[in-house]
């Protein structure tokens, strides 16, 4: 580990009383090293911002918040580490195997056990391997890259769906949330593309929908219908209804 690195850190403060609003603070060029126990960074956020009844985080007597700290980039490591998932690990007992008829891909047991949300009496890695009866495919490799923290490129919608199918198969919600973050970052100051918005509804990526709603100045009824109301989760539908009540519906 490098003793000193220049990191681009993003701090996201979530308001769970009013989930439509998300406050992002970008702290750039934050210096840290592995000998420091904490990093102090002053932001423009004050106690009044949090406690204000009108535009703060308090409603009545309640305040529910969560903080997400993400290191977006570290100096000296701008290029992602290339993982060769076909190389057997030095200690085979530490790996989980995806076995194709003609090939094998390897993944850390610890990563699988931490991220996988399958409800079972034993860890998912206890099976040792997952047998696949089809030819090896790129979506699984991209899925494994996501597990190891590689950047997520927002390219063809079909490929993204394939990777998300793998994530859902193993109930790895964390991977789906990484795609949600990538979709939001890819949109930037623009609106979320309709195709990705529909995907967000199908995969219950609530953050994408909240981001889209926060940018809306007015809501068109046809846009809501096109998202597929029958596939919406209760949380997404609730957020849309609340925004419609605030802005009205054309």
Select the highest-mean-pLDDT range: 53-57, 131-135, 164-168: 164-168
Other Cβ atoms within 10 Å of 9 Cβ, number: 19
CA distance 229 to 138: 32
pLDDT tens digits, one per residue of 150-188: 878 776 778 888 889 888 888 888 888 888 888 888 887
Domain ranges of the chain: 4-74, 92-181, 183-247
Backbone angles phi, psi at 98, to 5 degrees: -100, 105
**In the prediction, which pLDDT does 78 show?**
47
**In the prediction, which pLDDT does 89 show?**
80
**In the prediction, which pLDDT does 173 show?**
85
pLDDT tens digits, one per residue of 222-240: 888 888 888 889 899 998 8
Q: Which residue has the tokens 């056990």?
A: 113
Assign domain 92-181 to a CATH class.
Answer: alpha beta
pLDDT tens digits, one per residue of 63-116: 777 777 776 666 555 455 667 888 888 887 888 888 888 888 988 888 888 777
pLDDT higher than threshold 60 for residue 119: no
């Amino acid at each position: 580990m490098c003793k000193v690195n220049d990191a681009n850190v993003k701090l996201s403060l979530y308001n769970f009383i009013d989930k439509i609003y998300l406050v992002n603070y970008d702290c750039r060029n934050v210096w840290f090293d592995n000998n420091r126990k904490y990093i102090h960074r002053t932001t423009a956020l004050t106690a009044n911002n949090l406690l204000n009844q009108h535009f703060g985080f308090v409603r009545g007597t309640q305040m529910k918040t969560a903080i997400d700290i993400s290191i977006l980039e570290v100096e000296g490591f701008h290029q992602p580490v290339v993982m060769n998932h076909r190389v057997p690990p030095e200690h085979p007992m530490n790996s989980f195997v995806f076995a194709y008829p003609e090939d094998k891909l390897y993944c850390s047991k610890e990563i699988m056990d931490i991220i996988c949300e399958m409800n079972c009496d034993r860890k998912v890695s206890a099976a040792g391997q997952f047998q696949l009866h089809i030819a090896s495919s790129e979506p699984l490799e991209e899925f494994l890259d996501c597990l190891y923290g590689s950047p997520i490129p927002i390219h063809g919608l079909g490929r993204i769906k394939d990777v998300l199918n793998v994530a859902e198969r193993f109930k790895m919600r964390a991977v789906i949330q990484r795609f949600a973050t990538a979709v939001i970052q890819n949109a930037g100051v623009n609106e979320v593309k309709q195709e990705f918005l529909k995907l967000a509804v199908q995969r219950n990526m609530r953050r994408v929908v909240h981001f889209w709603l926060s940018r809306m100045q007015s809501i068109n009824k046809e846009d809501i219908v096109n998202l597929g109301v029958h596939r919406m989760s209760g949380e997404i539908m609730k957020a849309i209804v609340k925004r419609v009540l605030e802005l009205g519906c054309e």
